[in-house]
Chains A and B, each alone.
Chain A
Amino acid sequence: MQAVTQATLEFVKQYWAPLVCGLVIVGVLPLIVGYVVLVERKIMADMQARLGPMRVGPHGLLQPIADAVKLLIKEDIIPEDADKLVFWLAPVLSVAAALLAIAGLAIGPAFQIAKDVNIGILFVVGVSAMGIFGIVLGGWASNSHYSLIGALRSSAQLVSYETAAGMALVCGLLFAGSLNITSIVQAQYDQGVWFGLLAPVAFFTYLVASIAETNRAPFDLPEAESELVAGYMTEFSGFRWSLYFLAEYTNMIVVASVATTLFLGGWLRPFPRTTWLSFIDFFPPLLMVGIGVYCLMRTPKQPVRVQQTFMLAVAGLCFAVALVLVAPMLVPAVKPLHDGILGAFWFIFKVSLYIYFFMWLRFTLPRYRFDQLMRLGWHFLIPLSIINVLLIGIAMIVGTYFHLQGWSLLLTTSPASIIALIIALFILATEQKSEPQKSSAAPDSYA
């Protein structure tokens, strides 16, 4: 007994920081997700010539909280014929996997919960892929045809696209030579170039595959609203439904973070080793100041005093953040925090852009059909990613032979990428040609 207590104390003593961070993540992430949803709705509204949520709080800024409250107090419905235990377990599984994956991520050099996991990226990818169990089990347990079809689609989709995504990751890992997240970013710093530029095809493949993995439009077939009502979520409501929702958006953050880490230089600023471009370090505070000034300019135009006050508050917040960002560069006392603060900014900035791209696609494109989605996956993305891995490997061997480093590696990798793309397109074309014409003629059509 004594020993156990001792061990626990030791454990807590050693890992108190990650434990606290984990609790904070679990506590804060739903809020972040809520605001991601709000931002998505606002962006959608902007693209669709309307205003979006405007009622709850100024410019609808309290909408996520209102939504959360609504979802929590909603009646909890479990269908009569559902498998109760699995029905209960499924959303929990989904959200647990998504949250667990966050642990492996590094937001800036200073902030990582599970520090220096030597299989870092593998852990993140593997754990987040577990979320599919939540979807499949939820679809099966609901005992509804729509849910079942949604779950089937989801599993097929994940299996197909996980392959392509994995192959794309391998490409990045070839350059990094390590699975550890810090080492991957460090490798990009050493090379002085993002791996996304060295292997653009791999980045593209991962981009597409990650959209499909997170079930986002145009690959949102598992929950295709117009076809399957809500797919695997049809029978879920209230809190369970919101767990699925949380999982989906957390997954978005996870895949965006993985892509950022591996292909977009993680927390590094653009051109990390080009010293004459160091003024880019001033971009973050300037951006925040810009937003603050814009808010100030808009303040007099707000119709209600509450909104004016609110705009002022937002502006003040922006200025404060700008101050925090600029402090390490100007005040010697806080100099050591420089990398951590700016790194976190760059990381979040890149992740936001990646997620914005997801949203942009969602509002622009129609939805793929299931067979088209599968064809895109198996006939194009998977061959493309495999060929790409092979050719990038060859390119790297050639690169080492000629002692190419950093930007000069582009000399060998870009031809490799282009050749991979051409071969994949060729395969796609031949397969489309050889595919027999589907005859959809039904025998007794008028019956």
Chain B
Amino acid sequence: MADEPKEKQPSPVPAGDKPASSPAAIPPPKPAAAAPTGVTPPRPAVPVPPKPPVQLQTPLNNELVGRIRAKFGPVLVEAIEDRKQAILTVECGKLAEVAQYLRDEEKFDLLSDLTAVDWPKREKRLDVVLNLYSFAKNERLRVKARAADGEQVPSVAGVWPTANWLEREAFDMFGIVFTGHPNLTRILLPDEWQGYPLRKDYDIIEQDTSWVKDNLGIESGQ
């Protein structure tokens, strides 16, 4: 997909070590922030090229982002603001640690929602999206992690028990495997269901035909 520049931006510093240089360098050095001017918005990942040149997604650079960057360095892939809502993208493998930090240090104690989005044309096609809320700051934060199909995503159920069912739902609908989840089974769909319905390439007609054939022994009229 064309709009994947972000993947390459942080790669120069691959090993997620947290260098000592970070605290002093909080405001200026942001690998992602270097990109703002030339970068197209990361969101629209559809064949249709983003038409209006309105820059809705602006790089976010507040204290919170600074602190996270200082602590996790390149784990923070990207920080943007879309319609005044903060969105952080972190490296998939470090999701649980970032989550732990956000809950304990940044007081994002309520996991409002955990879901996923499928971008089939992207190299890492799945987004795990966490919507966090902090009672202390009265502030919402969205954390995303990109995962390839079949890639294991660390479960945040140990951080927020809410995630238990929400991750099961994400697994159910998208087939994202959360490692460390206490009971990762399908939740809304029957256990024997095939496929992951909320993926963009899920074909309901095919499902129907095969189900009818298997269960009723006749040709489906679909």
Q: Which residues of A contact B (CB under 8 A)?
A: 446-447
Contacts and interface: CB of A to CB of B under 8 A. Distances in A.
Interface residues of B, number: 5
The 5 closest A-B pairs by CB, nearest first: A446-B161, A447-B182, A446-B164, A446-B182, A447-B183
Interface string B134-158: 0000000000000000000000010
Interface of B: 157, 161, 164, 182-183
A447 B161 CA distance: 9
Contacts of A446: 157, 161, 164, 182
Contacts of B183: 447
A75 to B, nearest CB: 28
A230 B172 CA distance: 36
B110 to A, nearest CB: 16
Contacts of B157: 446
6 contacts: A446-B157, A446-B161, A446-B164, A446-B182, A447-B182, A447-B183
A173 to B, nearest CB: 61
A384 to B, nearest CB: 47
A11 to B, nearest CB: 68
Contacts of B164: 446
B103 to A, nearest CB: 15
A354 B151 CA distance: 71
A390 to B, nearest CB: 56
A444 to B, nearest CB: 9
A81 B104 CA distance: 56
A447 B182 CA distance: 7
A446 B183 CA distance: 11
Nearest to A444: B182
Contacts of A447: 182-183
Contacts of B161: 446
A446 B159 CA distance: 12
A446 B157 CA distance: 10
A446 B163 CA distance: 11
Nearest to B157: A446
A276 B5 CA distance: 107
Contacts of B182: 446-447
A447 B157 CA distance: 10
B100 to A, nearest CB: 16
B183 to A, nearest CB: 7
B168 to A, nearest CB: 13
A447 B181 CA distance: 10
A446 B182 CA distance: 9
B96 to A, nearest CB: 16
A445 to B, nearest CB: 8
A447 B183 CA distance: 8
Nearest to B162: A446
A424 to B, nearest CB: 46
A373 B182 CA distance: 39
Nearest to A445: B161
A207 B68 CA distance: 70
A447 to B, nearest CB: 6
A446 B164 CA distance: 8
Nearest to B158: A446
Nearest to A447: B182
A274 to B, nearest CB: 72
B163 to A, nearest CB: 10
A146 to B, nearest CB: 25
A166 to B, nearest CB: 52
A8 B164 CA distance: 78
A398 B141 CA distance: 82
B165 to A, nearest CB: 11
A8 B157 CA distance: 82
A112 B161 CA distance: 69
A234 B102 CA distance: 52
A446 to B, nearest CB: 5
Nearest to A446: B161
A446 B165 CA distance: 11
B54 to A, nearest CB: 44
A40 to B, nearest CB: 43
B95 to A, nearest CB: 19
A2 B192 CA distance: 77
A84 B157 CA distance: 50
B207 to A, nearest CB: 32
B13 to A, nearest CB: 37
